[in-house]
Structure 1
Amino acid sequence: MARARSIRNRLLLIVGIGVLLATAIQSLVVYKVALSEVDTVSDFHMLEMAHAVLRAGSPAMTQVVMVPTLGKLPTNEENCFTLHVERKTDFGNETEPFRSRKTYANQQQQDRALRVLTVDTPRARVTVSHDMAVRAQTARRLAFNTILPVIAVAPLLLLCVGWGVSHALRPMGRIRREIGERAAADLRPLSTEGVPEEALPFVREINTLFSRITTEFEARQNFVADVAHELRSPLAALKLQVELLCRSRTPESQALAHGRVMAGIARATRLVEQLLTLAREGASQQAMTAVPLPQIARLAISDTLAAATARDIDLGAALQDGLPESSFTVSGNAEALRTLLRNLLDNAVKYTPTGGVVTISLQREAASILLTVEDSGPGIPAAQQERFFERFQRGSNDTAGSGLGLAIVRAIAERHGIGLRLDTSTLGGLAVLLRFPCLPAGDTAAGQQAE
């Protein structure tokens, strides 16, 4: 596992590297500027010395002139100028105007690099040389004296940055302590007072997460309470029926009690299955694939065909004319969609009178696919339709149902982004309209086949 890194230490490291780089670049620039200035001043001193010698008319000589260079260097032969004068015996007509020619050059003598000035006149040639190492040393001293205050201030700068970063991150430490001291069930929003602007979106997202968890937690609590309430009645009835079976003496009474016990077990089993389905659909994050709706409809019909046949109900499906089955492919989880349609068909078959009709129809629209489940039952009044999507909501004459069928349908529809609406059927009963978003043009191939 990667080791966590401190934002404070990372910022201090970045600032420290930045200060070092800036100091190095500044030192280099200052040294170059100082060296240029030293060269300019030294060249000017060399020229002044040559002109002074020419004006004085000095005889031919070679000597070391003890003139200190820039800076506080000791005055010795290594850091002073060297002067050489060569007189000319034949300098032509003395009446012609005085003229001179100066030349600067860099020369290498043994292990020393020299800057050499030659001033040539009709009367004499004056050569002044100066050690380049002395110039570089003088430039380095000047650059060091210039950059020294920056070097001295750098640690103070780092301390100030460290204090500023620690002060800016103090609200994050407060939030960390607040979260660490909370109980597991304490999901109150975190305070945003004093939180830096950069960290404010992070804290707000945590508060949003807390809000979603609170909503989900409350829904789970309500679900558990509803489950406990709903399971109490069938289990109590089942216990009573078992007691009646045990007290039965005649074969007829035993057969009647046995049938009631088996029916009670079937209802309790169905209730538990639906509760597990609802809990699974509310929390699952199943993979989505390309699913052919006609095939899912056929599988759901096969699941409820026995119940429909027992009550002589005409159960079937119809596709839009002229379109192949591949036109009705959607994105989803095949097993979840099969559960959705099976619950709708179970409800339709249960509430449709004997000899009635239940139909699934599929129609392709511009940007969606419309699946409709219709029956010829009593239907649901428009004012009460929304209420039946809630858990454990049953009709006034429903004694066998659990009130979870439409709640499961809505949970699956919401997870798949399916539009869900109740309406009045053209058959006289209830119509459930499911609007599926269409797949992109390149994704309409059928995906995994439903079992």
Structure 2
Amino acid sequence: MYSALALLLIMLVSAGVVGLLLSRMDQQFNARLNERADTLAEAFTGTGQGLGKTASGPTAYTMLIDKGGQVLAASPILREFDGSPYPFGDRSRVTIQETTVRAAKRQVGDFGTLWVGLPEDDLIAARESALSALLVALVFTPLLLLPVGWWVGRRSLSGLEHAATLADRIDPTRSLDTLPLPAREDEVHRLLSALNRLLVRIEAGQAREKQLLGQIVHELGAPLTVLRASLARASERSEDPEVVRAALVADELTFTTQDLMQLARGQLEIRLAWHYIPARTLRDRLDRLVPGTVFTGQWNVGILCDPDRLTQALRNLLANARRAAGPDGSVTLDLADTPESLTFTVRDSGPGLPAGLGERIFEPFVSGSGSSGLGLSVSRQIAVMHGGTLKGATHPQGGAQFVLCIPNAALSDEDDALTS
């Protein structure tokens, strides 16, 4: 864009300069012609001392015309018009023997009219040279200006491009490190300084939000634990469905506070407590937390994991599946064991994932089922912390399907004997 604007400006300036140059040349030519005409007219009307001298020479263009319009005398190059009627009328520019001549007239007393011409060959050649130079400049200037402008622009914007690259590498889920500043204090330096100040404010705001969220979760945790234990004992002593429902709601709130605590701490602030547990232990815990789940696959293997975190991740997936399937729907959890990985597949008979959400379903507070929108985000975070992945899609036969995959660290027979 800059090169195009510069080219347009150069064209306008060049055209103006050439136009001014041609105008000055034309003015000088007219001044020379008028000076010549005045000199010859003065010679005719003077004392006669210089009569005829300035009009001599083979290339002189002069004629003396009487009052009747007859040519009384002419210079040698115009000898053909001598004694003939004046042939050019009122024209100021005529062609004589393929030469363009510009003419001027002067009254010379009783002699009549003096006609003086001056060839324009030099002026035309100069005009053509100037126009040719302008045309050549307009052809070659873009060829030079565009690559030079591109190179200068790339060099000038390299700092900004580097700043954009650094800004793209910022991970909002991690510590927001400030961007390195260039040595030269230019516009890029000012931009990066402003970005660094913004990053500092964002990180401070995130820290305050996490602290406040952690305090809220901590204040809710203690009474929820007491309430959950009380309702659990009450549900054991009573078959009242309202008490059982309240106990399930207390469990739901407890897991929601755990999700909030996970979100407040962040992935970098959590340390996994690794244990090698039987898969059946994990299955029994999940069966108590989400009743009605159908377990399929290979549950006779061992799992190296953080049992509490992995239980939390799978419980969130099963709770979402139960919510989507409804009380009469089906929820299954399948475990597949390979030497490389353990794959947990949660599938429900519900309507499937909401259209258009895609990977946004794993972002915090994005929900398609009316929940808090934290469960899937926390479950994926836990999967990543275990070195695995979590993906979701709508099954071709209907319903949602989530696949949580973690590396398999199965112990050998010798290691299994040692641990037992």
TM norm structure 2: 0.41
TM norm structure 1: 0.38
Higher relative contact order (CA 8 A, sep 6+): 1
